[in-house]
Structure 1
Amino acid sequence: MDWDEQLFAILDDLEQQAQALYDADRASELADRSRSEYAAVTLVSRLMASLDEDVTLDLLGVGPVSGRVRRVGPDWCLVHGSAQDWVVRLAAVKGVEGASARSVPEVAWSPVSRLRLGSALRRLADTAVPCRLHRVDGTTRDGVLTRVGADFAEMTVGEGRVVLAARETLSAVQSRS
């Protein structure tokens, strides 16, 4: 073997070693970047990717609620169960089974998907549908939502009595029709 062939063989070996070191360093950098990017994924973005999928939500004060995800907003979702709809406050969700492995970032949401929980509750109040209000402490109230304020919902129960429920105490509102 000539000296120039030996030199090229040594240089090729050094280049392969450098490429292997670069690949190993790059792999750990990509893994770190992937972990840091995933840290930005939210529950609501995973639920947004789960539209029209069957899920089970474990809710504070309610327990498991199963159904198909129909709508998702920044702080709520609508789940269509076997016989009724559930408007769920996302802050009351303890866990989710059956969610999509994907996520949809907020910049890709439609303008309708940006409506907050108050809008969903106002829609129930406008239809005057009988419903059951579930609180995070496990208590319930049956009645008709009549008005929705900035941080509360007004419900008519029994024979015209009006009850105000602080929004922070709500876990879900279940349609009763």
Structure 2
Amino acid sequence: MDWEERLFATFDDLEQQAAALYDAERAAELGDRARAEYAAVTLAGRLMSSVDDELALDVTGVGTVAGRLVRVAGEWCLLERPGHDWIVPLAAVAAVTGASGRAVPEVAWPAVARLGLGSALRRLADAGEPVVVHRRDGGRHELVPTRVGADFVEGRGPEGREVLVAFPAVAAVQSAST
């Protein structure tokens, strides 16, 4: 091999080393970017991609609630199961089993997904049907919702007394299926 061939072989080797270093740096950078992007994914975003799927929620103060995920909003979700619908504030969800591996970014959510927990509870109050409000501490209230304030739901209990339940205390609201 003459000096010119050795020189070109050395240049080829250096180019290959530089390409390998670039690929290694690029892979690390892409990994960092992927982690940073995923850090912005919310539970609601993951659940949004699971609408119409069967899944199980471990709800603080209630236990496991399994059913078909019907609707997701930024603050709550609606599970449907035979005999009952469950409105569950996402803040009360401890774990989810069966969710899709994908996520839907908030900009792609339908407009109704921006409605708060109060909107869902107002619908129940309008229906006038009895519900069970499960609290995060394990307590529960059987009542017919009558009004919904900014941060509480009001209803009439079985003995006719008014009961106010603050939203932060609500783990789930169980209603009859419609």
Question: What amino acid is aligned across from residue 66 of structure 2 in structure 1?
Answer: S
In the alignment, is the contact (CA less than 8 A) between 1:58 and 1:64 conserved in 2?
Answer: yes
For residue 164 of structure 1, give the secondary structure of its aligned residue in structure 2. strand
In the alignment, is the contact (CA less than 8 A) between 1:132 and 1:176 conserved in 2?
Answer: no
Which position in structure 2 is the counterpart of 1:86? 86
Aligned residues: 177
Question: What amino acid is aligned across from residue 163 of structure 1 in structure 2?
Answer: V
Question: What amino acid is aligned across from residue 54 of structure 1 in structure 2?
Answer: E
The residue correspondences of 1:3-152 to structure 2 (distance < 5 A) are 3-152=3-152
For residue 174 of structure 2, give the secondary structure of its aligned residue in structure 1. strand
Question: What amino acid is aligned across from residue 110 of structure 2 in structure 1?
Answer: S
Percent of aligned pairs sharing the same letter? 60
For residue 118 of structure 1, give the secondary structure of its aligned residue in structure 2. helix
Quote the offset at 1:141 in angstroms. Answer: 1.1
Quote the offset at 1:6 in angstroms. Answer: 2.0
Quote the offset at 1:135 in angstroms. Answer: 0.4
Question: What amino acid is aligned across from residue 104 of structure 1 in structure 2?
Answer: V
Query: How far apart, in 2, do the equivalents of 1:18 and 1:60 lie?
Result: 54
Query: How far apart, in 2, do the equivalents of 1:129 and 1:103 lie?
Result: 34
User: Unpaired segments of 5 or more residues in structure 1?
Assistant: none
Instruction: Encode CA deviations 1:28-73: one digit per residue, 9 max, x unaligned.
Output: 1111111111111111111111100111000111000000110011
Instruction: Encode CA deviations 1:72-126: one digit per residue, 9 max, x unaligned.
Output: 1110000001221000011111111011110011111111111111000001111
Query: How far apart, in 1, do the equivalents of 2:176 and 2:36 lie?
Result: 43
Query: How far apart, in 2, do the equivalents of 1:176 and 1:141 lie?
Result: 15
Query: How far apart, in 2, do the equivalents of 1:57 and 1:96 lie?
Result: 5
Query: How far apart, in 2, do the equivalents of 1:60 and 1:87 lie?
Result: 13
Query: How far apart, in 2, do the equivalents of 1:143 and 1:33 lie?
Result: 49
Which position in structure 1 is the counterpart of 2:160? 160
Given the two structures, how large is their TM-score scaled by the length of structure 1? Answer: 0.96
Given the two structures, how large is their TM-score scaled by the length of structure 2? Answer: 0.96
In the alignment, is the contact (CA less than 8 A) between 1:78 and 1:87 conserved in 2?
Answer: yes
Question: What amino acid is aligned across from residue 15 of structure 1 in structure 2?
Answer: E
Query: How far apart, in 1, do the equivalents of 2:52 and 2:120 lie?
Result: 18
Pairwise CA RMSD: 1.1
